[in-house]
Amino acid sequence: MLRIDRIVMREIRLALKEPFRISSGVEHERRILLLEITDRDGAVVWAECVAGALPNYSPETIDTAWLAVREWLAPRLLGASVERPEDVHALLDENVRGHHMAKAALEMGCWALDATLVNVSLAQRVGGTRERVATGISLGLQSSPEALVERARGALAAGYRKIKLKIQPGRDVDYVRAVRGALGRDVDIMVDANSAYTLADADHLAALDELGLIMLEQPLGADDLIRHAELQRRLRTPICLDESITDANRARDMIELGSGRIVNIKPGRVGGYAPSIAIHDLCRDAGVPVWCGGMLESGIGRAYNVALASLPNFTLPGDVSPSARYWARDVVSPEWTMDSQGMVRVPRDRAGMGVDVDVELIESLTVRDEAVRARASIVV
Ligand code: OSB
Ligand code: MG
């Protein structure tokens, strides 16, 4: 039984080692919303909300998530006794549209709390079976093909098992061809457009077909399942959807319409673990591979992604790079590391999240905090 007594929201600022540029914007520093969730018996878990500073990837931002947690979502949980974490998503979702990243942070925290209380690892609690998960890297847009090739070479040498290149009009086919030429035919390379194209670009995108990419992620708009299906009919390269898959029904639609052949599952984007597992299961039944995406998480959010990526149908390497790819110093200990085979170990030998949270460091990085406690009067 989950009985939450107190939820503290904190915003921390974490400087990225190098700016991360995608087609819709650039981040130099992550503004991260962390939740510290305490139950009635004093058990504490930490969770991370993956919303960004700007609404360029999804409509949510850290500020909308802060509002949603404080006003509508945390009060629901604080007032309730919930039997199982499996039930939390439905509780948060009832009559509250959207705000998936805000919901996910709370929901996933409940899974970690439950794992802690029943003394199993988070990976075990969500049904994960892998001891190690394969890791890919997501390389941001670069100013020249040469700069991108240099980074891709470094990634390959470090052991990454999949190399994802961000693309946008003007920085696409030539850049990807340069990387393919430098790395050879055997390396798993993919591209991610973050919705930078329209169907009018179909012939141009078809030039990617000869480059042997394992997938093209989210070329068109988030709401464009129909046009993605049209584009997929014109490409050999499999389309993978990220932004478009906001819940299990959207994954079902993708499969039925032929809008894509692979799904990137980010638990924040879909509202938490329960919807992630539902998408995982329906894709497994349809023979559609999935992989775990990333949102430049701190070591806390990373723990949740690693646990999820240990489920059996996560058959492609995830964007779960080690801490040192992003940060000078991560907020967990031990930091997340990757071996020379490009594998991250799943901490199955510890109850809960599997890493310790560096509370002192978090204190020093905190720019605002706010506690939410049970309020009898809240009815949504
Ligand atoms: O589209 O997958 C994306 C980061 C921010 C917003 C969107 C995306 C990304 C990434 C980062 O690709 C992957 C990572 O966390 O390493
Ligand atoms: Mg993406």
Distance from Cα 261 to the centre of ligand 2, integer Å: 15
Tally Cβ neighbours within 10 Å of residue 288.
21
Does residue 166 have an active-site annotation? yes
301 CB within 6 A, ligand 1: no
Mean of the per-residue pLDDT values for the chain?
97
Q: What is the largest CA-CA distance in the chain?
A: 63
**How confident is the model over 46-75, as pLDDT tens digits?**
999 999 999 999 999 999 999 999 999 999
Instruction: Tell me: pLDDT of 79 over 90.
Output: no
- Residue 20, helix vs strand vs coil: strand
Q: With a 6 A CB cut-off, is 48 part of the ligand 1 pocket? A: no
How much is the average pLDDT of 3-27?
97
Q: How far apart are the CA of 6 and the centre of ligand 1, in A?
A: 31
Say yes or no to pLDDT of 380 above 90: no
CA 194 – ligand 1 centroid, Å: 9
Return the pLDDT at 374: 80
Q: Is the pLDDT of residue 377 over 50?
A: no
Give residue-wise pLDDT tens across range 188-223.
999 999 999 999 999 999 999 999 999 999 999 999
Q: How far apart are the first and last CA of the chain?
A: 22
Predicted confidence (pLDDT) at residue 299 exceeds the cutoff of 90? yes
Q: Name the pLDDT band for 375 (thresholds 50, 70, 90).
A: low
Measured from the CB, is residue 319 less than 6 Å from ligand 1?
A: yes
Ligand number nearest CA of 155 is 1
**Is 162 annotated in the active site?**
no
Cα of 223 from ligand 2 centre, angstroms: 14
Query: In whole angstroms, what is the distance from residue 377 CA to residue 214 CA?
Result: 52
- Quote the CA–CA distance of 313 and 334 in Å, as a whole number: 27
Closest-approaching ligand to the CA atom of 23: 1
Burial of 240 by CB count in 10 Å (0-12 exposed, 13-18 middle, 19+ buried)?
A: buried
What is the pairing mode between strands 162-166 and 189-192?
parallel
136 touches ligand 1 (CB under 6 Å): no
pLDDT of the residue at 124: 98
Q: What pLDDT digit, counting tens, does each position of 253-286 carry? A: 999 999 999 999 999 999 999 999 999 999 999 9
What residues have CB less than 8 Å from 176, skipping those under 6 apart?
A: 165, 167, 189, 191, 208, 211, 213
Instruction: Give the tens place of pLDDT for each residue, 226-237.
Output: 999 999 999 999
**pLDDT reading at 300 higher than 80:** yes
162 pLDDT exceeds 80?
A: yes
User: 195 in ligand 1 pocket by Cβ < 6 Å?
Assistant: no
Q: Output the residue whose Cα is nearest ligand 1's atom 7.
A: 295
Over residues 342-365, mean pLDDT = 98
By most ligand atoms within 8 Å of CB, the mutation choice from 14, 29, 138 for ligand 1 is: 138
**pLDDT tens, 312-326?**
999 999 999 999 999
